[in-house]
Amino acid sequence: MPTDPGRPSVPAATSTHCPYCALQCAQTLTRTDAGVAVAPRDFPTNRGGMCQKGWTSPTLLDVPDRITSPLLRRGGELVEVGWDEALDVVADRLRTIRAESGPDAVAVFGGGGLTNEKAYQLGKFARIALGTANIDYNGRFCMSSAAAAANRSLGMDRGLPFPLEDLRGAQAVLLLGSNLAETMPPSLGHLADVRAGGGLVVVDPRRSPTAALAADGGGLHLQPVPGTDLAVLLGLAHLVLRDRRTDTGYLADRTTGLDAVRDCVGAWWPERVEQVSGVPVRTLERAAALLADASPIAGGRGAYVLTGRGVEQSSQGTDTVTAAINLALLLGLVGRRGSGFGALTGQGNGQGGREHGQKADQLPGYRMVDDPAARAHVAAVWGVDPDDLPGKGLPAVQLLRSLGTPGGPRALLVHGSNLRISAPDADSVTRRLRSLDLLVVCDFVPSETTRLADVVLPVTQWAEEEGTMTSLEGRVLRRRRAVDPPPGVRSELEVLRGLALRLDAPGTWSTEPAEVFAELARASAGGKADYSGISHRRLDTGEALFWPCPATADDQPAHPGTPRLFLDRFPTADGRARLLPVEHRGPAERPGPGRPLHLVTGRVLQHYQSGAQTRRVPELAAASPEAFVELHPVTADRLGLVEGAWVRLRNDRGEVRARARLSTDVRTDTVFVPFHFPGAGRINRITNDAVDPVSQMPEFKNCSVDVVAEPAEPLAATGPAAGRRTR
């Protein structure tokens, strides 16, 4: 790897963390004559393990199509230019658009894979360099429903309010909408004893590998009709109350709202739940008994209720997670050692990415942008007048719908997202991106979104940069530079500084991650996500710290961090958790004439998010080369389909094409397609962008489709103009 004389040298072996999911498996990267070798490190989350993606992660450092020069669109083509020219063009166009249409005519879209430092600086850049309210990020597609539910019920959103290793001592775990065996394989080690004891209960419309582990280990797989998880949770709560299995002392001392929830779930008797969800009464009763027997009040070893994207990416996602929290509160699990509720964050920095200013309604430290005290505190750190800070912007789906419309944003800056693959109703999103006057994308490899850009800025990737990430448990970790980036590549901190200076932005714009983190820590001080007692130096002398970790006086010991939340009280006005009544409404779109099947989407073991990284790793691409349509043999027989045949999925939003894969693991009324792939199998072309009214989470996990045989092999995945803008 070439060495940049302007950067400090890097050691031959570097301790860092995997670039992919929020498990953030610990790794050692070693530079050798043959390249970079990777080995797992023993760490509480991964315990010396890694998945296929982690083992092959160094391949990303040498991909042949790495972007190493800024690209500027001229005559419909992207051509290489120098950094000064690229930044001058971006700054000039931004200045013109703001002068003509106001600051909100410029929008920013961030990502849950950015380090804390980059996420913080991006939010600051949007609000005081651009002056726009319109910033949101792809975490709106990931954790927003769980965050909204936790905030309103528990007073705080930290995905897991306890260390992951606490699961190892549990007697029962209810896992809703998460396929850990494929999304976070090393995490299964923490569930081994639970599974061996028959206490793992998985709710999933597919018999996923995780559901199979539960059922084969003596636990339970509840396989509801897609979109009815909320009804299942209401039924479990009904049974716990009916059978007097609640923790009455805990409810009296630590919660409010019991009577309203009792009235709400009273109508969800088991037979009604079976009618709505398809989950048999006896299975539902057994699941409730497993959880109740494991609860502290019953003398059990502990129980956990965990949610994932399968139940959260829904137009009733916030209410579904609220129902899961209600169940955990009824059993007295939350804020008890050895028991609890948690939501499994997906993206690498999905937790930290939403804490420090990328969300449309938040400022650093998980402060709300419409809170006068929060605005005053953050404005003082940034050196600006609080009145100059913009208010709430548009959440992701609304923001994307508004691009290029009259009065909507004319320019968009994209950091760490591949919207043409990952956004719902993706063809509509593509049309909106094409309508912009300026699209700027920061990335390190070409993606479906960079191919539409007016300007592409090449940035560093995981092993080439310093910074911090926050894992799914709220554990702040150090990302360390193990190799030098290719010549011509800059960090996003350098990009933001270059643009901020050209735009005459107020404040300071350091490019040193440790300095940016120190500012982030000051901005977060006193907020819910308080990082003020954390620094790069502290993290380098230990391994990680859990937030909140407030600063202490110089003559006092440093705060040790907070591995477990809610042990004494909840961060609400009265210190109590809120039991909140919710009602099952069902998905926004249901099967009917012309589209008789449920479509659910998800992941496969080998790929991550939009696949822009993992599809470039030969071993992963060979193992899972293309999209597929998983459907039950009975359904296939009814439709005249056979294994490997090309099929079309279609609805009012469009159609996709992929090969059929027959499996009894999926319901007869359901088809499953992974969302990682471009071209003809780009499944988010037909997913629904209906959103949850509270979280604004889009309903990725359920829409309705028709499935028909494709008479011949489909056309090429992309047409000649699919990646171009003509102007």
Per-residue pLDDT of 497-529, as tens digits, reads 999 999 999 999 999 999 999 999 999 999 999
- Do residues 130 and 156 both lie within one domain? no
* pLDDT classification of 3: cutoffs 50, 70, 90: very low
Residue 717 has pLDDT above 90, yes or no: no
Quick one: pLDDT band at residue 9, thresholds 50, 70, 90? low
In this structure, the answer to whether residues 172 and 315 fall within a common structural domain is yes
Which residues are 544's β-sheet partners?
Answer: 477
Q: Cα(557)–Cα(365) distance, rounded to whole angstroms?
A: 22
Q: What is the pLDDT of residues 560-600, one digit of tens each?
A: 999 999 999 999 999 999 999 999 999 999 999 999 999 99
pLDDT given at position 712: 58
Q: Give the count of domains, the chain.
A: 4
Q: What pLDDT was estimated at residue 687?
A: 96
Assigned domain for 81 exists: yes
Quote the CA–CA distance of 577 and 569 in Å, as a whole number: 8
Is there a domain that residue 578 lies in?
Answer: no
**Mean pLDDT computed over 247-257:** 98
- In the three-class reduction of DSSP (H, G, I as helix; E, B as strand; rest coil), residue 174 is classed as strand
The answer to whether position 401 is within a domain reads yes
pLDDT tens digits for range 69-104: 999 999 999 999 999 999 999 999 999 999 999 999
Same domain, yes or no: 365 and 422: yes
- Please state the rounded mean pLDDT for residues 195-202: 97
- Res 142: pLDDT: 87
Residues 133 and 150 in one domain: no
Do 517 and 424 reside in the same domain of the chain? yes
Asked if pLDDT for residue 281 goes beyond 80, the answer is yes
34 in a domain, yes or no?
Answer: yes
Contact between 204 and 223 (Cβ < 8 Å): yes
Lowest mean pLDDT among 238-247, 449-458, 586-595: 586-595
Q: Is residue 364 part of a domain?
A: yes
Helix residue spans in 2-61 (DSSP H): 52-55
Asked whether residue 364 carries a pLDDT value surpassing 80, the answer given is yes
CA distance 580 to 584: 13
In this structure, the answer to whether residues 394 and 518 fall within a common structural domain is yes
Task: Tell whether 437 and 367 lie within a shared domain.
Answer: yes
Residue 300's SS3 state is coil
Taking only the tens place, the pLDDT of each residue in 20-56 is 999 999 999 999 988 899 999 999 999 999 999 999 9
**Distance (Å, whole) CA 312 – CA 535:** 33
229-242 and 258-265 helices, crossing angle to 10°: 110
Q: For position 80, what pLDDT does the model report? A: 98
> Looking at the structure, do residues 227 and 335 belong to the same domain, yes or no?
yes
Q: What is the pLDDT of residues 317-362, one digit of tens each?
A: 999 999 999 999 999 999 999 999 999 988 989 999 999 999 999 9
pLDDT band for 7, please (50, 70, 90 cuts). low
Domain range for 626 is: 597-709
Question: Cβ-count burial of 569 within 10 angstroms (0-12 exposed, 13-18 middle, 19+ buried)?
Answer: middle
Whether pLDDT at 726 is above 70? no
- Categorize the per-residue pLDDT at 725 as very low, low, confident or very high, splitting at 50, 70 and 90: low
Alpha carbon 641 to chain centroid, angstroms: 35
Residue 679, pLDDT above cutoff 90? yes
Q: Which residues pair with 600 in a beta bridge?
A: 672
Residue 144 vs residue 722, higher pLDDT: 144
Q: What average pLDDT is seen over the chain?
A: 94
- Same domain as 358, residue 490: yes
> Is it the case that residue 722 has pLDDT exceeding 50?
no
**Given a cut of 90, is residue 557 above it in pLDDT?**
yes
pLDDT of residue 724: 47
How far is Cα 602 from Cα 310, in angstroms, rounded to an integer? Answer: 8
* C-alpha–C-alpha distance, residues 83 and 540, integer Å: 33
Examine residue 273 and state whether it is found in any structural domain, yes or no: yes
DSSP 525: T
We report the CATH number of the domain holding residue 299 as 3.40.228.10
Question: The tokens of 383 are what?
Answer: 């050196």
pLDDT at 718: 41
**Whether residue 177 is found in the same domain as residue 314:** yes
Query: Is 552 among the domain residues?
Result: no
* Torsion angle of the four alpha carbons 367, 371, 374, 375, in this order, in degrees rounded to the nearest 10: 120
45 with 87, same domain?
Answer: no
The yes-or-no verdict on residue 461 having pLDDT over 50 is yes
* Residue 242: alpha-carbon gap to chain centroid: 36
SS (H, E, C) 506-569: CCCCCCCHHHHHHHHHHHHCCCCCCCCCCCHHHHHHCCEEECCCCCCCCCCCCCCCCCCCCCCC
> How far is residue 138's CA from residue 62's CA, in Å, rounded to a whole number?
26
Is 721 a residue whose pLDDT tops 50?
no
With a cut of 80, say whether residue 377 has pLDDT above it: yes
- Residue pLDDT, tens place only, 400-446: 999 999 999 999 999 999 999 999 999 999 999 999 999 999 999 99
Q: Where are the beta strands (DSSP E) in 603-702?
A: 628-631, 646-651, 654-662, 670-674
Q: Mind listing the pLDDT tens digit for each residue in 684-709?
A: 999 999 999 999 999 999 999 999 99
Asked if residue 558 is part of any domain, the answer here is: no
Q: What is the CA angle 184-483-63, rounded to 5?
A: 65
Confidence of residue 133 (pLDDT cuts 50, 70, 90): very high
Of all residues in the chain, the percent with pLDDT exceeding 70 is: 96
Indicate whether 5 pLDDT > 80.
Answer: no
Pairing of strands 628-631, 654-662: parallel
The CATH number covering residue 49 comes to 2.20.25.90
Give the model's confidence band at 710: pLDDT under 50 very low, under 70 low, under 90 confident, else very high.
confident
Backbone torsion region of residue 474, taken as left when φ is above 0, otherwise alpha when ψ lies between -120 and 50, otherwise beta: left
Instruction: Give, as one character, the DSSP assignment of residue 559.
Output: P
Q: Please, what sign has the CA dihedral across residues 593, 594, 600, 604? A: positive
Which of 321, 344, 367 is where one domain is finished?
Answer: 344
The whole-number pLDDT of residue 346 equals: 84
Residues 34 and 96 grouped into a single domain: no
Does 40 sit behind a cis peptide bond, omega within 30 degrees of 0 on the bond before it?
no
Contacts of 376 (CB under 8 A, 6+ apart): 386
CA distances to 591, 667, 668, 711 from 632, rounded to whole Å, are 17, 6, 5, 20
